[in-house]
Chains A and B, each alone.
Chain A
Amino acid sequence: MTGAVSRGRGIIRALVLRLWQAVLAAAGASLLVWLMLPLAPGDPVDMILSARRIEEPTAEQIAALRDRFGLDLPFWQRYLLWLGGVVQGDFGLSWRTGEPVWDGLVRRLPASLQLVGLSFAISVGWSLALALVAARWTGRWPDRVVLAYTRILAATPSFVLALLVLQFAVVGLGLGRVLSGGAGATLVLAAAVLGIDRAAGWTQLLRAGLIEHLARGPADVARARGAGPGRVLTVYALPPALLPWLTALGISLGGLIGGAPVLEAIFTWPGVGQHVLTALSVRDVPVIQAFVLIAVLAYVAASLLVDALALLIDPRLRPEARR
C-alpha cells in the first residue's frame, strides 16, 4: 500500500517539477522574443502601415495607430501589458488586419492539425514497415535498398518533393486540386509528402534501435530456444526499441503544431503555417509573438506528455528508483 502511495507521489513530484520547468521555459521564450524586438529595424508605426499597405498615411492615422497599439508606452510596460493580456487569453491585435491575434490562429488550427496528424500517422506506419524490413534482413539487399532510399529521401528537401507532386500528381494526373480550400484529396497528398519525407530519418532511428536489440541477450536467448527470426524481431527487439523511438517522435510532433509552412504554402493549405508566413513577410509582430508562445507551449506539453507516459511505462525512470 505505502509503496503504491509513495510511487504515486514520486510521479506527481516529477511531473510538478517538469511542469514548473515548462512554465519557466515558456516565460523565458516570451521574454526572449520581446528582447529581440528593439533589434528590429524601423519604427513599429511604419511596420504597421506597410503591413496594411497604407502608402500615404496622414498624421491622424499615425497618431491613432500609436494610441491603438500602445506604442508610446515604454518597452517594459508594453511587455507587462502583453503578458497580462496573454494570461487572460488576449494576444492583442494583428498589425496587418486589426483582428484579434488569437481568433486568426485558432481559426486555422484545425486545418494544420489535420495535416500534421495525418502526416504523422503516415510517417509512423511507413517508417515502422521499412525499419522492420531492414532489420529482418540486416545487411542483405532489402536492408541496403531501405538504407539507400532513406539516405536519398533524408537529403531531399520536402519542398522539392512537394513541387514535383503538385506538377505531376495534381496538374498532370488530376488528383486533388491546386486550390485545396481544405479539401480531402489535397490533404492526403500534402500529408503523404510530409509524412514520407519525415519517415526517412525516423526509419534510420528505428532500424538502429532494432539492430541494437537484436544483438542483445533476450534476443539471443530466444533464438537459442528456437524462435524464428520474425518472432525474435517483433517480440524481443521491437518492444524495447519502440519506446525511445516513440519518445523522439512525440517530441518532434510537439514541434510540428505550428504546421508545415512550406508545404502549406505550396499546397495552398489554409493552416497556421501559411498564416504565419504572411505575418513574417509583413512583420506582423503580435502574430509572430503569439505563434512563438503557442508553439513553445505545445512543444513543452508534448515533451511533458511523453515524459509522463515514459514514467508510467518504464519504472526505472521514476525518482525513487534513482536514489
Chain B
Amino acid sequence: MLARPRLAAAMPARPASGLVAGLSRHPSGRWGLILALTLGAVAVAGPWLAPHPPNIPDYGAALRPPGPGHWLGTDATGRNQLSRLLDGARRSLGGAALVAVAITLIGLVVGTLAALGARWVDAVVMRAVDVVMALPGLILAFAVIGLLGPGYTNLLIALIAADWAYTARIARACAFEAVRSPAAIVARQIGVPEWRVILHHVLPPVFWPLLVLGTLGLGGQIAAISAFSFLGLGVQVPHAEWGAMLADSRHLFTVAPWLLLAPAACILLSVLASNLLGEALRDLATPEGRS
C-alpha cells in the first residue's frame, strides 16, 4: 500500500499517440489494458447495468446463493450483490482515480513551480516535500483520518496527503532538466513567450513520468481505499464499497462465501490491472527496461 515505485528520474518525452498501440503490443500491457478498460467501463456504466437498486433491502430474498435473478447472490438484507459491486466500483475505482489525478496535478504544479521559481521558492517547497516524504505514507493517512474522523471524503484527502510529495519531487526533477534543455533555451532566445515555452518544452517531459507514476500508484490507492473501508474508516453506510462489503459479510463466510469472494476478486483484478498497465508504461518509457 502506498508504495513509492522506483523510477528513473529522467525519462524521454513521448507523444501520447501510439500509446495504445505500444501497450497492446506489450505482453503484460495488453492484458492490463483489456482489464482496465473493462473495469473502467463497468464502473462508469454501473448504474445502468445494475439489475436492482444497490441500497434497498428485500428481506424475503436474504442470503440467496448465486443463481438466476441474482447472479452473484444477495447479502444479509437481501440486496443484490452484483448491483452493489457495480455501485461500489464507482467508489473503489473512481476514488482511486480521483486520488491519482489529484496527486498528479498537485505534483505537476508544485514540482513545476519549484523548478521555475526563484531559488528560495525551490528551497522552501523542496524542504516541505522532504518533511512529508519522511513520513511513512500509511502513518500519515492514519493521522489525517484520526484527526478529521472516518469518512469517504476524509479518506481521499488522507490518501492525497500521504502520496503527493514523491510525485512532486519527480516532477520537479524532470521540470528542472526540461527548463534547462537546449530546446527550451533556444526557444527563449528566439523570443517565444515564456508561457509557450512552458507549455511546449517543460510540461510534456514532466507529464510522461507522472503518468507512469500515477498508473503504478493506482493499484495502491485501490487497495488502500478498500483496506480503510474494511476497517470502517472509509466509506460509510449504507453505501457500497468493495472493502466495506467484505467487512460486512465476513461473519457470513460459512453460509455465504460468495459475499466474501466476489468483492475480493474485484479488488484483486483492479489492482492487477493497474500493476500490469503501470509496468508496461514503465517499460515503454525506458526502452532499455524492455526485456
A residues whose Cβ falls under 8 Å from a Cβ of B: 21-22, 24-26, 28-29, 32-33, 36-37, 39-41, 151-152, 154-157, 159-160, 163, 167, 201, 205, 211, 248, 254-255, 258, 261-262, 265, 276-277, 279-281, 283, 285, 288-289, 291-292, 295-296, 299-300, 303
Q: Separation in Å of the A164 CB from the closest CB of chain B?
A: 8
B260 touches A163 (CB 8 A): yes
Binding stretch for chain A, among B75-83, B140-148, B196-204 = B140-148
A292 touches B131 (CB 8 A): no
How big is chain B's contact interface, by range?
35 or more
B139 touches A157 (CB 8 A): no
Q: When chains A and B are docked, how far (Å) is the Cα of A211 from the Cα of B291?
A: 9
Within 8 Å by CB of B142, from A28, A151, A288, lies: A288
Task: Chain A residues near B58: list those with CB within 8 A.
Answer: none
Within 8 Å by CB of B147, from A28, A37, A262, A299, lies: A37
Q: Separation in Å of the B273 CB from the closest CB of chain A?
A: 8
Q: Mark B16-31, 1 if CB is under 8 A from A, else 0.
A: 0000000000000000
Q: Is B3 an interface residue (CB 8 A)?
A: yes
B residues whose Cβ falls under 8 Å from a Cβ of A: 3, 6, 127-128, 130-132, 134-140, 142-150, 219, 223, 226-227, 230-233, 243, 246, 250, 253-254, 260, 264, 267-272, 275-276, 291
Q: Separation in Å of the B186 CB from the closest CB of chain A?
A: 31
Top 6 A-B pairs ranked by shortest CB distance? A25-B134, A28-B131, A255-B136, A155-B271, A288-B146, A155-B272
Task: Chain A residues near B271: list those with CB within 8 A.
Answer: 154-157
B272 touches A152 (CB 8 A): yes
B143 touches A292 (CB 8 A): yes
B144 touches A154 (CB 8 A): no
Q: A277 and B275 in contact (CB under 8 A), knowing A22-B134, A157-B223, A248-B6?
A: no
Within 8 Å by CB of B130, from A25, A159, A205, A248, lies: A25
Task: Chain A residues near B128: list those with CB within 8 A.
Answer: 28
Q: When chains A and B are docked, how far (Å) is the Cα of A180 from the Cα of B229?
A: 24
Q: Separation in Å of the B230 CB from the closest CB of chain A?
A: 6
Q: When chains A and B are docked, how far (Å) is the Cα of A296 from the Cα of B139?
A: 8
Q: Separation in Å of the A217 CB from the closest CB of chain B?
A: 15
Task: Chain B residues near A36: list those with CB within 8 A.
Answer: 143-144, 147-148
Q: Separation in Å of the B89 CB from the closest CB of chain A?
A: 16
Q: When chains A and B are docked, how far (Å) is the Cα of A155 from the Cα of B277?
A: 13
19 contacts between A and B (CB under 8 A): A21-B134, A22-B134, A28-B134, A36-B148, A40-B149, A152-B272, A157-B267, A159-B246, A160-B246, A160-B260, A167-B254, A205-B6, A254-B136, A262-B230, A280-B145, A288-B143, A289-B143, A299-B135, A299-B139
Q: When chains A and B are docked, how far (Å) is the Cα of A21 from the Cα of B252?
A: 50
Q: Separation in Å of the B36 CB from the closest CB of chain A?
A: 13
Task: Chain B residues near A285: list those with CB within 8 A.
Answer: 146-147
B148 touches A41 (CB 8 A): yes
Q: When chains A and B are docked, how far (Å) is the Cα of A42 from the Cα of B153?
A: 17
Task: Chain B residues near A276: list those with CB within 8 A.
Answer: 142
A160 touches B267 (CB 8 A): yes
Q: Separation in Å of the A123 CB from the closest CB of chain B?
A: 14
Task: Chain B residues near A151: list those with CB within 8 A.
Answer: 272, 275-276
B268 touches A155 (CB 8 A): yes
Q: Separation in Å of the B162 CB from the closest CB of chain A?
A: 11
Within 8 Å by CB of A280, from B131, B132, B233, B264, lies: B233
Chain A residue nearest to B128 (CB atoms) is A28
Q: A154 and B146 in contact (CB under 8 A), knowing A29-B134, A296-B135?
A: no
Q: When chains A and B are docked, how far (Å) is the Cα of A114 from the Cα of B135?
A: 23
Q: A29 and B135 in contact (CB under 8 A), knowing A151-B272, A154-B271, A160-B267?
A: yes
